[in-house]
Amino acid sequence: MITDAAAAIVDMYCKELKLPGLRSTYGDIARDAASRGQNHLSFLAACLAQEIESRRQHRLATRLALARFPATKTLDGFDFSALPGLPKLKVLGLADGTFIRERENVICVGNPGTGKTHVAIALGVSAVGAGYKVRFISAVTLAQELLLAGQEYRLPRYLKGWGSYDLVIVDELGYLGLGPGGPLLFQFCAERYERGSLLITTNLEFSRWTEVFGDVTLTSALLDRLTHHAQILIFQGESYRFNQSKERLKALSEDKTPGISQQ
Ligand code: ADP
Ligand code: MG
């Protein structure tokens, strides 16, 4: 039986010791322990376990927010049958985060709509779950931020800021919209080499990367380095969304065919 006075004291101690997880649940844990005739030590263990779990959840939520994923995607929600050429086991294997520990890179290359961003986010979410610090950013935004940092004479500090991430996901490297940001993006990738993992999604085959970065010699040197420690995933197929809308349209038109209608 929890008296009001005892509860007030536990409340106060939880606040003082900064134990928010325990504070919100100790009543339930105490009632549960009493109903099951649990001994004091087991009760204490349950209290501590609850606080640990609540901190883990909080840390996870903070890191997910920090990663700034544009949507929630999972590998469970990815239809591998749509891309028979994509090695499913290899992709699932990447989800354990070993490539991040080894500071390897992942490059997803393929046509628009084939699920590159989906897989990139899913791998990022798994990495957060495994305790890594992850950040997702589009190539265009990154190029803009790099340009701005350069104009404001704080490029070295800006680049250094990225050093705290275990995995940086640069989404949609394409040759449009980067302009003078291209060479800075090159510098970003070069600095990151072997310091941390990079996951790049792109619709450009490697031979066209010079159009983004500008300099042919520098680009081939960078590609050499990046791909040396990289898992390259080729997304070859039609746009998933396009295929789905095609199927929907087909289903609709079949519904409207006289005699086949379900009504
Ligand atoms: P890309 O980055 O290659 O242009 P996206 O990852 O943005 O493609 O995919 C476009 C949309 O289609 C997203 O909503 C994504 O979740 C979905 N999608 C693409 N491929 C698949 C797939 N194989 N299984 C499930 N959803 C997919
Ligand atoms: Mg994309």
pLDDT tens digits, 70-120? 999 999 999 999 999 999 999 999 999 999 999 999 999 999 999 999 999
CA of 115 to the centre of ligand 2 (A): 7
Among 19-23, 116-120, 176-180, 182-186, whose mean pLDDT is lowest?
A: 176-180
CA of 112 to the centre of ligand 1 (A): 9
Closest among 112, 95, 130 to 201, alpha carbons compared: 112
Model's pTM, two decimal places?
0.85
pLDDT for position 70 = 98
CA of 31 to the centre of ligand 1 (A): 47
Nearest CA, atom 6, ligand 1 = 115
Of 87-91, 204-208, 212-216, give the range with the top mean pLDDT. Answer: 87-91
Label residue 259 by pLDDT band (50, 70, 90): very low
Structure tokens, 137: 């950013």
Q: Does the pLDDT at position 261 exceed 70?
A: no
- What one-character DSSP code corresponds to residue 80? G
112 lines ligand 1 (CB under 6 A): yes
pLDDT for position 262 = 39
pLDDT tens digits, 230-246? 999 999 988 887 777 77
Q: Which atom of ligand 1 is nearest to the CA of 81?
A: 23
pLDDT for position 13 = 95
Q: Write down the residue that tokens 């490539």 correspond to.
A: 99
CA distances in angstroms from 159 to 165, 188, 199, 221, 253, listed in the order given: 11, 7, 17, 20, 53
Q: What angle do CA 97, 101, 103 make, to 5 degrees?
A: 110
116 lines ligand 1 (CB under 6 A): yes
Question: Measured over all CA atoms, what is the biggest interatomic distance in the chain, rounded to whole angstroms?
Answer: 75
Q: Which atom of ligand 1 is nearest to the CA of 244?
A: 12
Among 19-23, 136-140, 174-178, 254-258, whose mean pLDDT is lowest?
A: 254-258
CA distances in angstroms from 86 to 9, 70, 89, 247, 255, listed in the order given: 58, 23, 9, 22, 34
What is the C-alpha to C-alpha distance for residues 135 and 124, in angstroms, rounded to an integer? 8
Q: What is the mean pLDDT of residues 141-146?
A: 94
117 lines ligand 1 (CB under 6 A): yes
Label residue 177 by pLDDT band (50, 70, 90): low
Q: Does the pLDDT at position 1 exceed 60?
A: no
By most ligand atoms within 8 Å of CB, the mutation choice from 118, 170, 171 for ligand 1 is 118
CA of 139 to the centre of ligand 1 (A): 18
Label residue 209 by pLDDT band (50, 70, 90): confident
Label residue 263 by pLDDT band (50, 70, 90): very low
What is the C-alpha to C-alpha distance for residues 91 and 68, in angstroms, rounded to an integer? 22
Q: What angle do CA 117, 122, 128 make, to 5 degrees?
A: 125
Q: Which residue has the higher pLDDT, 77 or 252?
A: 77
192 lines ligand 1 (CB under 6 A): no
Q: What is the mean pLDDT of residues 181-187?
A: 88
CA of 109 to the centre of ligand 1 (A): 13
